[in-house]
Structure formats: C-alpha cells, structure tokens
Structure 1
Amino acid sequence: MAWRDGKASGKRLLLFMASIVLGIAAVVSIQSFSENLKDNIGNQSKALMGADFLIDSNEPANERVLSIMDSLGGADAMEVKFASMAAFSKTGATKLVQVRGVEGDFPFYGELETEPTDAAVRYQAESGALVDATVMLQFNLEVGDSVKLGNKTFPIIGSLITAPGSTGIGTSVAPPVMVPYGFMASSGLLQKGSRLDYAYYFKAPDVDLQKLDKEIDPLLDEQNADLDTHTSTSQRLGRRYDNVGRFLNLVAFIALLLGCVGIASSVHIYIKEKLKAVAVLKCLGATRKQTFLIFLIQIAGMGLLGGIVGTTIGLLLQESFPLILQEFLPFQVQISTSYQAIVVGLVLGVLMSVLFALSPLLNTWFVSPLQVLRVQENVGNKSRKAQIYVLLAIVLFVFLFAYWLLDNFKYAFSFVVGILVTFTILWGMSQLFMRLVKRYFPKSWSFIARQSLLNLYRPNNQTAVLILAIGIGTFLIGTLYFTKDFLLAKTSLETNEKSPNLIMFDVQNGQKEDMIKAIEAKNLPIIDNIPIITMRLDRIKDRSVNAIRLDSTTTINKWILNHEFRVTYRDSLIGSEKLIFGDLNAKVLPGRPVPVSLSDNVARDAQVVVGDTLVFNVQGMLMKTIVGSIREVDWGRMQMNFSVVFPTGVLESAPQFHVLTTNAPDKSSSANLQRELVAKFPNVSILDLRQVLTLIEGILDKISWVVTFMAFFSILTGIIVLIGSVRNSRYQRVRESVLLRTIGAKSNQILKMAALEYLYLGLLGAGMGILLSLISSQLLAYFVFETPFVPSLVPFFVVLPGIALLVLLIGLSNNISVLKSPPLQVLRKEVN
C-alpha cells in the first residue's frame, strides 16, 4: 500500500527527498574527506617526519642527551633549523627563510623532491644549497646562481619542491633552504639568543615506539629535550585538521537541519491531504498501526533514497577538496571511498526524515473513520505527550550527532542551545508577525494588498517554515561575512608612521647601536627597542621543576616545566595587555624577591597567584622572584607580546639580544633597508609584516571561501525547502486562484498578490537572519576573539535585498503554473 500510494504521489515525495539531499551531500563530502585525510596522515606519518623518531632540543645535545642517544644506537642523521635572512647575489634581493642545516642521509622515508632530481643527493657532497621552488620562481633564480646565508655563500644545486618536516603554511612565511650542516658554525648564524631547533633523526623500524616514548621521554625532559615519534607527530597533525573538519561539519549539519524543517512542513501538508484516504482505510478495517506504517514506510523510503543520492553527490564533491586545501597540507591527499561516510549518509537520510516527519505523521493515528462523513477538517485531539516525546527525540539526536562531530560535551551542548534559540526566535517572530497582521489588518488598503497579507495567516500558510528556511540561511551567510571582516581587521595594521611594518630579530648587544644608526640614516624611525633575555624555571613555589617532572600526579602543565622563556623588562603596559591582578610597578627591594608580571595563561598553567614565588635560571644564574601581577594578553595582536615581564633595573646587565622595529613607507625603501642590514648584520632576521599580512589575508580569504561555500549549501537547501513548500501547497493555491478568477480577478492581480506575499516573507526572513547574525557576530567578537566589532554594510545592502529578490522570483515562478489551471478543474473537483 505504501508503494502504490507513493507512486501516485511521486513528484511530491521527491521534493521531500530534495530537502535533505544537499545537507547529506555536505556532511558526507566533509566526513569522507576528513577520513581520507586521517588515513593519509597515518599512512604517510614516516614520510612526513622522514624518520621513525627524533630527539629535538633548542640547544646542541649535552653529554647526558648524547649518552641517551648512544644507548639507542646513535642518531642516523641530524639537522639544525632556524629562521634567517637569505641574500641572492644575482638580484641583490633578500628573503626571510628557514635554514635547514642537514648532516647524514636524511630523510630515511619519503624523499626530497628536487629539480633536477639528483640534486637531493648531490647538494651535501658539492657543498651547495637546495632553495625552495617558489622562491626560485619569485626571484628568477636558476641552478648555478648563489645564495648567501650569514657569512657563507652557497651555490644553488637545485630547487626544493617538497621535504619532510616542512608544512604548507610555514613554508609560505619562511620557505626552506637546505644546506650541509658542516658550514653552519662558520656562517656566524648560530648566535646566542637565536631561536635554534636541533633535531637528531633515528631509523629504527622494529623499535616499540610507545614503550620508547614512555621510558625515554621523561629522561629527555629533564635535559630540556624532547622525543617525537612519527605516530605522535601524525596524531598532532591530524588533530589540527580535525578542528577545521568539525567546524565545516557543523555548517553542513545546519544545512541538513534546515532541510529537515522542510520535511516537517511538507509532510504536514501531504498528510493533511491524505487524511480522507486514511479515514476510508479505517472504515475498511485498517488499524491505526497499519495506516501509520503506510506513510512511515513512504517517508523512510524517500529518506533512504535521499541518503543514497546525497551520499553519491558528497563522494563526488570531495574530489574537489584537495584542490582547495592543498596548500595548507604538507602532502598530496589520495582520495578513496570512505565506508563510514557512506553509512553516515544513509543513516542520516532515514533517521532525520523519520524523526522530523513523526510529528505530522501522528495525525494519522488520531483520524476517526467518521472523518469520511465530516466536511470539516478536524482530525481529533493529538496526544500532547507523544508530541513532546518526538520533540525530545529530535533534540537528543541533534545533540548526540553534534557530540559525535565535536567530541566535546560543552561545545555540543552550546551548539544545540544555539540552534534551538535561533529556531525559536525565527519561529516566534513568524508567529508574532502573523498575529500583528491579523490584529492590525489595514482594511483601507487595496484589494491586492489586503489579499497578499491575508495569505500570510490563511489556513495551510507557509509563513513559519519559509521564514525559518530563509532566516537560517541568511543567518549563516551573515555571520560568516561579519566574522571574516573582524578577523581580517584583527590582523591588519594601522597605516600610520607609528605602526611598525619591519621587525629585526636577534640583534646582539654589540650590534644594536650600529643598526639604529643604519636605520636612522635612511630617515626611518626606531619605533621599538625591546631587550630580550632567555631563561627557564628552576622552582615553582617550594618545589624544584625536576621534582615536579617526576611527580606523575602533578596537574601543572608540562610546557611550563620545559619552556625556554624569552622575557623583557619595562615599567608599563602595552596596547595588547590588561592588568587583572596585582601591581605592575611593585618596587624592587634589596634582599627581597624580584616582582614579576605573568600572563594569565602562564599563571594558570603554572598554578600560581599573586604572592607566589618562582625561581628562574637566567643563563646559569638563579634569580628568586615573586608574582607581583597577572596580565591578560591579546596574543592575536600583531606586536611583541611576552609571557613574563620583569621590572626595570634588574636585567639590564644580563646577556641579552634585542628586537628593533621601524616603519618603511613603501616597498622600495623596505627592500633597500633590508639589503643593507643583511649585508652588515648577516645574523639578524628581518620580518616584513606587509608580506605576512598578505599571506594571512590570503589564508583567511580561502578559509572564508570554503566556509561560505558550505553556507551556500544551507541557503540552497532553504531555496529547495521554499520550492517544496510552495509546490506542496499548490492545491490550495489552485483553488484560491480559481475562486478569485471566478469572481473576476485577473491573472496579473493574482501575480501581484503572490509577489507582495513573497516579498514580505523574503524581507522578514532575510532581515531577521541578518539581525541574528549581527548579534551572534558581536558575541563571537567579544567572547571568543576579544576584538572590537564594527559591522559591515554589505550584508544589509547586498545579502538582504538579494535573498528577498530570490524568494520573490521563486514564488512567482511557482505561481505562474497555478494560473494556467482552468477554473473548471476545481469546480468539477478534477484537480490532479
């Protein structure tokens, strides 16, 4: 019976299916790509590291670390990595690069992909350099040209296409240049205070990595070194991309929920028209259960078919993801079929269809056989208890699915609450709008205007579901647009002379005055002169750091114990800081601990408060300090921020280096200054913030494009819900149209009524969506990103009228077919 009745109503049921196809396609495509990404990372974990495991430190291995490495059979290769300036003799241009000084046959897995291919083998034997392929193109370099690193000039043996240990975004900021390790000491770049990373690589395919990590890593922690296995590295990399995947999954899931709203509305109209048939079946002896199951099987079947179609589209769609995200990934993604994503798509299709159709389906349960004889459409009293159970089931499913996507109870709960609040506000506004129109109906308006308003609260009206569909889609797009705006604003710099756009790192004490003179000779200002001293924690309160490391029950964050802090000294706050507790200007008293200021994250992870003592190892000298104040630091601000700040008058004589900043008015003066400084001070690294900001804006644009593309799924789903809602109320529209034409209304009058009705719905739905996105963006800016929010006018003047116009066009296109129905069709009760 379900099959026979379904065939007769095939077109209408196809619209139910269309409501969820896009949402399922979005979820499946992202789920499948995430699974493929995870598998690729797992399968290529050795190639990503280039070894089975490594031991790394920011200083050369001491005797204890060397003895630990000897007990493991000795390192098979090693390298030192650091940022430095490279000068290209062919053009005189300079570039911040990541120097990788390699010794040994690294990598053991994967390969150095170079052009020519044999350059990967020859560069060490020929004392040459492999230069990032993008840099080669950017500066028009060729094999045989030279690159100067510090005091050493290397011939370019080949261009470096890919290398283990280099990530997509990292190489965009500082592209890699690989050279033999033996020349690093003579280059003059291994200066005290420079941020160096020594890595010792091991090839040991048969070793138990989990046991090794458990036994060796604690021993290395005591020596300020660390052990990384290829499995742990790939897990960290996987988690990084999981976060993006989870967010996109939620956007896709919202699109699916929006489609389900369309299902509920469409099934409501569909079942309402079937109630007479249900009453006849009950007169013939059908039970409640039988009539209920007939239509439940129909909806479940359409849900399964929608799941199959959506899953197929999703699997095809994921093929485009590597093209969009490839530059963020350190390897080529191989796409394969994800069976988990297929199961998710099919289960979602059936489960979501049935869940959201249950409420209107319950109407069939309470239909009386006497309904055949009754003219009125009274279906009996529905069970309020059953409706509550259905609503709870929907909310529970949405929560469980969100929890599965996010793997975080708090975030999943917040997501469900946010969805409920948004849906409730939109539904409440639609009900309020209908009541206001009904109560304050403008009786003096023209017939066409009055009739268009009457359509908003007539029986079988679609005001609530259309406002929900339009509002949610607009809400998503508006929120994404506003968020993109303030994220870009957060990373942008003010274009004035007081804003630094060139930063010079690792300026040694003996170089500081000469560099200041060189910068001022170019008529450029010195904006910042920041001293930096490196130190480590030796004691926290009354416990030594080594004792805390050995305590398996400690809850102090591990990074605090192993971190080499780079601190400065000053007597005032900067723009990115806000004092939370204590006094920044506490006096330094003779014989008393030195008062220091900690950032709130350090105080939290070290579990200290104002008044607690800390002992720092300042390059071999122990210094007792007391927490004098705690600051809230905006780490997203593009300026020099510090976890620990000392007062003035304490560290001035300590070994230190400096960071200088200036403002170059244009690219030409910036390039000239960089060339001169690199020639005079080869150890100094120069960061051009204009290049960094261009990179950041490019990344944000790509992320914004991906997220907006997912929001497009939501609005497209909303359009399909709109089409489905209009199509499913076609009988009512045909009847009204015919009756109006019978009493003398013209086709253009009926079209004008429809145009006004859909214009009201489009403006109200899109307007509410924009206003809700404005509120959500303000909350995101304040609580999550902690940044000022100045809304853009684009959503108000482009998105709102655009969506309203789209709704108008779709509504009119559906009503044109209604006008083609002859009046006698309805009068003879022969409507098909």
Structure 2
Amino acid sequence: MAWRDAKASKVRLLLFMASIILGIAAVVSIQLFSTNLKDNIQSQSKTLMGADFIIDSKQIPTERAQGIIDSLQPAAYEVNFVSMVAFPKNGGTKLVKVRGLEGDFPFYGSIETQPAAVATTYQKAGGALVDATLMLQFDVTPGDSIKIGELTIPIAGALQSIPGSSAISTSVAPPVIIPYRFIAATDLLQFGSRKEYQYFYKVQDTVNLKQLQDQLEPKLDLENADLDTHTSTTERLGRRYDNVGKFLNLAAFIALLLGCIGIASSVHIYIKEKLKAIAILKCMGASRRQSFLIFLIQIAGIGIAGGLVGSLIGIGIQELFPYLLKEFLPFTLEITITAQPLIIGVLLGLFMSVLFALLPLLRTWYVSPLDVLRVDENSSQEPRKIRLMVFGAILVFLFLFSFWLIKDALFALAFVGGTVLTFAVLAAVALFFIRTVKRFFPKQWSFTARQSLLNLFRPNNQTVVLVVAIGLGTFLISTLYFTKDILLAKTEIENATENANIIILDIQPKQRDSVTESITAKGLPVLSRTPLVTMRMHSINGMPVNELRQDTTRQIRGWILNHEFRTTYRDTLMPSEKLLEGNWTPKIKEGDPVIISISDNLAEDANLGVGDPVVFNVQGVLMETIVGSIRQVDWAQMQLNFSVVFPEGVLEQAPQFNVFTTYVPNEESSASLQRDLVAQFPNVTIIDLQQVYTLVEDILDQVSWVINFMAFFSILTGIIVLIGSVRTSKYQRIKESVLLRTLGAQNKQILRIAALEYVFLGLLGSLVGIVLALVSSLCLALFVFKEPFVPSLIPFIVFLLGITLLVVAIGLSNIQSVLRSSPLEVLRREG
C-alpha cells in the first residue's frame, strides 16, 4: 500500500525528497571538509612547524633568556627580517624575508629545492636559496647573484617550500635563506630594524611539551621572549579559519533546517489530503497500526533515499573546498572518504523525515471511519499531550544537531530558541492576519478580491502553514545573506588613487633628506614623513611593569607588559582616527606635563582612562606621561596607525627612524623608484601596496566564492522548500476551483482569485521573515562574528518581490489543470 500510494503521489514526494537531499548534501560536505582539515592539521602539526618547539625573541636575547635557550641546547637557530634585495643581473628589486639559518632545520618535513641536493649543501657552500617564483619573476637561475644589503652572494638553488611558510606570507615577502654566518656582512640589522631570533628544538617523544611550556613561558615572558610548541601553533592555525568555519556551520544548520521545514509543511498538507482515504480504509477493516505504517514506511523510505543521495552529492561538493582554500593552507590538504558521512547522511535523512513528519503522521492514527462523512478537519486531531511530546522531540533533535555543529551549548540553545521564537512570531502574525481580515472584511471589494480574502480564513485554509513555511524559509535565506555580507565586508579593500601606495620603512635620520630628493627627483610626491620611536611601558598607574607581570590578579592584558611600542609624534588626528574621550594635545612646551593620546583597544587592554599616568622606557630613559585622550582607530585601513601618539615638542631628540609614503602611477614608476632607493640605501624596506592589494583581493575572492557558493546552495534549498510547500497546497484549492468553474466562473476570475491569495501569503510571509532576519543577523554580528553590521537592501527588494512572485507563479501553476480540462475530468484525475 505504501509503494502504490507513493507511485500515485510521486510529484509531491519528489519535492519532499529534494528538501532532504539538499539539506543533507550541505551538512555532509561541510562536516567532511572540517573533519579533513582538522585531521590534516593534527597529523601534520610537527611538519607545519618543522620542530617540536621554538623559542623566539624580537630582539637579541637577554643574558637570562640566552641562559635558558642554551641550557635546552637548540639543534638549529636563525635570525629573520624583512628587507629589499637586488638582482645584479637585471637590476630588479623585491621585498623579501631574509632567513639566516644555522643547523639542520627542519627536523620534520623537508626543504624542497631545485636542484634537490642544495637543500643540504647551501650552508657549507655559502650560497642562497631563493624563492622559486621570485627567480622566475626576475629571470635568474642558480649561479646568478643576489644582493642583500652590503652582501652579494651566489644563488645556490630555487626554494620551492619550507615548513612554516604559507602561500600568503611567501607571496607578500618571498623567503630567501642564507647561512647565518653571513648576516653580519649584510649590515642590515641597524637601530629600529624589525628582526626575530628563533631557536629550534627536537625532543624525545617522552618529553611533556605542555609541562615544559608551563614551566618556562613565565620566565621567558619576563625576558621578552616566547616559547611555541607545535601543538599550540596548530591550535592557532585552526583558529585562523574560525569565522569561515562558523559561517559554513551556520549554512549547514540553515540548509538542514530548511529541509526540515520542507518536510513538515509538505507532509502536513499531503496527509490532510489523505485523511478521507484513510477513513475509507478503516471502514473496510484496516487497523490504526496499518494505516499509520503505510505512511510511516513511505516517509521513512524517502528519508533514507534522500539521505543517501544527499550524502553522495555532499562528498562530491567537499572536493571543491581544498582547491578553493589552497591559498589559506600552509600544507596540501589530503581528502579521505570514509563510510561515516554516508552513515550520518542516511541517519539524518531518516530522523529528519520521520521526526518532522511525525505530527501530521499521527493524525492517521486518530482518523475515525466516521470522518468519511465529516467535513470538519479538526475531527481527527491528536491529543495535546502527544503533540507536545513530538514538539519536545523536535527541539531536542535541533539542539543536539546544532551543538554537534558548533560545539557550544549556549550558542546551540540560542539558535534553537531563535528558531522557535521565529516560528511562534510567524504563526502569531498569520493568526492575527486571519482575524484582522475576518473582522474588517472589505464587503465593497470585487467578487474575485473578496473570494481570495475568504480563502485566507475559511475552513481548510492554508494561511498559517504557508505563512510559516514562506516566512521561515525567507528568514533563514535572508539571515544567511546578511551574514554573508558581514563576512564579505571584511574583504573590501580601499585602494583609492589619491592614497599612498608605496611605503618606505627604516629610514635613518641622516638619510631623510637624501631619500626625499630621490623621490622628488622622479616627479613623485612625498605624501607623509612619519617619525617612529620605539619604547616599552615601565609603569602603569604607579605599578611597575615587572611587578604587574607577577600579579596573577591584574586586570591588564599580558601583551601590554612585553610589547615594544612603535610610537610617533604629530599635531593632528589622522582620517582613520576619531576622538572618543578627553582633549587632543597638538604641542607642548618644555617643562610641561607630557600629554599622550592612546587607542581605544590599548585603553581597554591596559585598563587606562583619561588622566591616568604611564611611565615609558625610551631606550633607557624614563619618561612620565599622562593619558590626555582616547582615540578610536580604524586598523583595517592600509596606512600607518599607532596605539600611542605623542604631541610635538617631546620626542624630536629621541633615537628614531622614519617612514615615508608616496604615490606611484604605474608599475614602471614603482620598479624604477625601488631599484634606485635600494641601490642608494640598502637598509630601507619598501612595501608596494599595489602588489599587496592584488594578492589579498585574489585570496579574498576565493574565500568569497566559498561563502557565496554555500549561501547560494542554502538559498536554493530554501527555494525548493517553498516550491514544495506551495506546490503541495494545490490539492487544497482544486475542488473549489472546479466548483467555481461548474458554477460559471471564467478562467481569468479563477486566476485572479488564486493570484491575489498567493500575493497576500507571499508578501506577508516574506516581509515578516526579512524583518526577523534583520534582528537575528544583528545578534550574530555582535555575539558570534564580533563584526559591525550594515544591513543590505537586497533582501528587502529582491527577496521580498522575488519570493512573492515565486509563490504566485507556483500557486497559479497549481490550477492550470483546472483551467485546461473539464471539471469532471479534473475530479476523476485528481481522485
């Protein structure tokens, strides 16, 4: 009986299955990719770092730090810094990351070079390993020379990969590896140079790295050094994809929820149409159990089939993610296919279909044989206790599923609570609309308009079901769209032509005039000359920093106590800054208190307010200051921003270096300027923001593609659900349309009645859904993604009109059979 009835209702049941397939496909693809990513990071954790743990310092290690480093006996060490290099063969220049290495690093994984042998011989032979892409770009080959500062060294081979490097970092500053003993000859490590000393260790498997880190990190912290283990590094790597992962999980949750709505709404209307047939079966002797099992087997079978097909599609989709995110990953992601996603997909399909169809299915149990003669649809309602139990089971399922996705009970509870609240609001709005139309019925309207409004509240109406289905679908689709905008807003890069696109760093005071002349001689402007003075905090609010480090109850973030601040002095605010508290002090006279301005994030992390005293250590000289103002700084802008800004008249005589910015109109001007500056001033570092813009935009385009793809996938699921819900509702109106035709109604009148009814339902459901999505997206932006939220108008224009038109189009297609055939033929066919 289940098979026979399914064949007779295959169109409705195929749409029902489509809801399951798309929901399961999204869940399986996202979960399989997340699992593979996590497993790859875990299995390659040592290879990613190349060592068991690293001790690093942003300056030459102090005597105590060096003692700890030596006592652990490093197996390899390096100093690295960013610098400009030149190729004497063709005069080309490029910003690179110079790594001076000593020892057999890496201990895990390998340095891949061409030719392969130079990976182990370059240190002894005294050659450089240069990034392979960089060599192609400047048409240099092994045997040619590279000039690093004052050092000219032969190129031993092309560097293809080294543990710890990602496509992003190597594209911005490609690596150049030289033997450590040649670093002094470059003459690049001058005052103000940004450098990092790293010491690499390999230990026995029996060593407890967590215990070692807990024991040594506080001691190294006091000496401005840090200890990183391979496990902590991979944890940070996993967090790098956190927001994208959250969005993908949200997309999976929404896709599955849309599938559940599709199941619930389509089965609700489907079973209502079957109640009279079930009553007839019971008149002929069928038991409650038999009538219930007929439809339970139908739904369960469709759920299993849909889960299996959805899982197979999901497995295919997840193969795209490694390709799309390869620029993000510092390793090649290996995809493994297991039986688990298939099992999960099939079980999810079964549970989804049965659980969300259970409420309408239970009505088959309570159908009375007398219902053959009854007209009242409420005559076979299931007991309230049973209904509440089913609702409870659905809520538990949604909570467990969302908890499995996001691993946070509070957020899972909030998601489920928000969904229930949305469902309740939509149902309440639908009921309120029915009562309002009933109470203020426009009796003067035309026959077709009155008939369409009557359909909204007369017996056997579909208002509540369709408003909830349309509204909830629109709510989820709009929420996904708004959330996509939140993430993609971060990928917008301002690159106006009037802004600086060349930054020149590490200019020493004696070089300022010469660098200015070199820039202006080429007809280029010097847009800004920013002095930089490095310093550390000595005391905060009267408490010495050394004491604060030992205080476990402090309310000051640890980075403040160890950070080397790069500060500046000027008399005006920048366009990226906004004064929040206090007064801006542009200049002070000798002997006056030193009034500084700090950024809002520094004020929060250091627990500082206007009027609080801070003592800085400026290269050995203590300077007392007072916080005079707090600024909001837009760190997302690609320009020089500072946590601490001094007024003019204080730091002019302090040891400092400078940063210049200029604007070049094209790549030729940029290459010429860089070539001349590097030849005259080997110590300066030049950042070409045009290259950075291009690189970042390319990477973010790929991330945007993934986000847009998953958003589109879930939106497609929502549209399928809407089609299924509205399409299945055709059986509610066919007999009435046939009766109207029998009484003499014209086709255009029947079309107008149906069109107006679906316009009311589409507009009401989609409008309420979009408004609710606006509220939910604001909560997601503030509490989950922690990003600002600027709502788009597209859902209000495109989704509102689009979904309404879609609902009307499907609704009108429902009655085409009535319009094309005679009333008797329609009744026979539908029967």
The one-letter code matched in structure 1 to 2:686 is I
The one-letter code matched in structure 1 to 2:196 is D
SS class of match (1:326): coil
Contiguous gaps of at least 5 residues in structure 2: none
Name the CA distance, whole Å, in 2 between partners of 1:411 and 1:631.
Answer: 33
Contact 1:262 1:725 in 2 (8 A): yes
Deviations, residues 174-233 of structure 1 (Å, cap 9, x unaligned): 222222222222112212212211111112233321221121222211111111111111
Deviations, residues 108-144 of structure 1 (Å, cap 9, x unaligned): 1111122332232233333333222333333344334
Displacement of 1:55 after TM fit?
0.7
Q: Root-mean-square deviation (CA), in Å?
A: 3.9
Deviations, residues 761-789 of structure 1 (Å, cap 9, x unaligned): 77777777777777878888899787795
Normalising to structure 2: TM-score of the pair? Answer: 0.87
Q: 2:496 aligns with which of 491, 494, 497?
A: 494
Displacement of 1:545 after TM fit?
2.9
Contact 2:477 2:718 in 1 (8 A): no
1:150 corresponds to which residue?
149
Deviations, residues 513-548 of structure 1 (Å, cap 9, x unaligned): 221222222332222222212222233334433333
Name the CA distance, whole Å, in 2 between partners of 1:686 and 1:762.
Answer: 58
Contact 1:480 1:704 in 2 (8 A): no
2:668 corresponds to which residue?
668
Name the CA distance, whole Å, in 2 between partners of 1:507 and 1:34.
Answer: 45
2:467 corresponds to which residue?
464
Pair 1:421–1:632, CA change in 2 (3 A): farther
Stretch deviating more after TM superposition (640-649 or 106-115): 640-649
Name the CA distance, whole Å, in 1 between partners of 2:426 and 2:85.
Answer: 57
Contact 1:596 1:626 in 2 (8 A): yes
The yes-or-no answer on 1:564 pairing with 2:567 is no
Stretch deviating more after TM superposition (198-207 or 293-302): 293-302
Displacement of 1:660 after TM fit?
1.3
Name the CA distance, whole Å, in 2 between partners of 1:753 and 1:154.
Answer: 85
Name the CA distance, whole Å, in 2 between partners of 1:324 and 1:442.
Answer: 59
Displacement of 1:719 after TM fit?
2.9
The one-letter code matched in structure 2 to 1:205 is Q
The yes-or-no answer on 1:163 pairing with 2:162 is yes
1:175 corresponds to which residue?
174
1:137 corresponds to which residue?
136
2:538 corresponds to which residue?
538
The yes-or-no answer on 1:335 pairing with 2:335 is yes
Aligned residues: 825
Contact 1:33 1:321 in 2 (8 A): yes
Pair 1:381–1:771, CA change in 2 (3 A): closer
Name the CA distance, whole Å, in 2 between partners of 1:744 and 1:116.
Answer: 89
Pair 1:427–1:708, CA change in 2 (3 A): farther
Name the CA distance, whole Å, in 2 between partners of 1:748 and 1:146.
Answer: 84
Alignment of 1:119-518 (within 5 A): 119-206=118-205, 207-279=207-279, 295-296=295-296, 298-337=298-337, 341-342=341-342, 344-364=344-364, 366-380=366-380, 387=387, 390-391=390-391, 394-395=394-395, 397-408=397-408, 411-412=411-412, 415-416=415-416, 419=419, 459=460, 461=462, 463-464=466-467, 467-468=470-471, 471-472=474-475, 475=478, 478-479=481-482, 482-483=485-486, 486-489=489-492, 491-496=493-498, 499-518=499-518
1:101 corresponds to which residue?
100
Pair 1:764–1:701, CA change in 2 (3 A): farther
Stretch deviating more after TM superposition (332-341 or 470-479): 470-479
Stretch deviating more after TM superposition (188-197 or 429-438): 429-438
Pair 1:115–1:558, CA change in 2 (3 A): same
Normalising to structure 1: TM-score of the pair? Answer: 0.87
2:622 corresponds to which residue?
622
Deviations, residues 274-294 of structure 1 (Å, cap 9, x unaligned): 323554566688887886676
Displacement of 1:333 after TM fit?
0.8
Name the CA distance, whole Å, in 2 between partners of 1:547 and 1:481.
Answer: 46
Stretch deviating more after TM superposition (500-509 or 543-552): 543-552
1:697 corresponds to which residue?
697
Displacement of 1:756 after TM fit?
7.7
Pair 1:348–1:619, CA change in 2 (3 A): farther
Name the CA distance, whole Å, in 1 between partners of 2:552 and 2:340.
Answer: 38
Name the CA distance, whole Å, in 2 between partners of 1:679 and 1:651.
Answer: 30
Contact 1:533 1:657 in 2 (8 A): yes
Stretch deviating more after TM superposition (184-193 or 117-126): 117-126
The one-letter code matched in structure 1 to 2:235 is Q
Contact 2:426 2:468 in 1 (8 A): no
Contact 1:79 1:200 in 2 (8 A): yes
Name the CA distance, whole Å, in 2 between partners of 1:425 and 1:693.
Answer: 45
Displacement of 1:47 after TM fit?
0.8
Contact 1:77 1:202 in 2 (8 A): yes
Contact 1:32 1:338 in 2 (8 A): no
2:520 corresponds to which residue?
520
Contact 2:726 2:810 in 1 (8 A): no
Stretch deviating more after TM superposition (710-719 or 368-377): 368-377
Name the CA distance, whole Å, in 2 between partners of 1:494 and 1:662.
Answer: 13
1:684 corresponds to which residue?
684
Contact 1:473 1:711 in 2 (8 A): no
Pair 1:101–1:414, CA change in 2 (3 A): farther
Stretch deviating more after TM superposition (325-334 or 345-354): 345-354
2:80 corresponds to which residue?
81
2:39 corresponds to which residue?
39
Contact 2:188 2:683 in 1 (8 A): yes
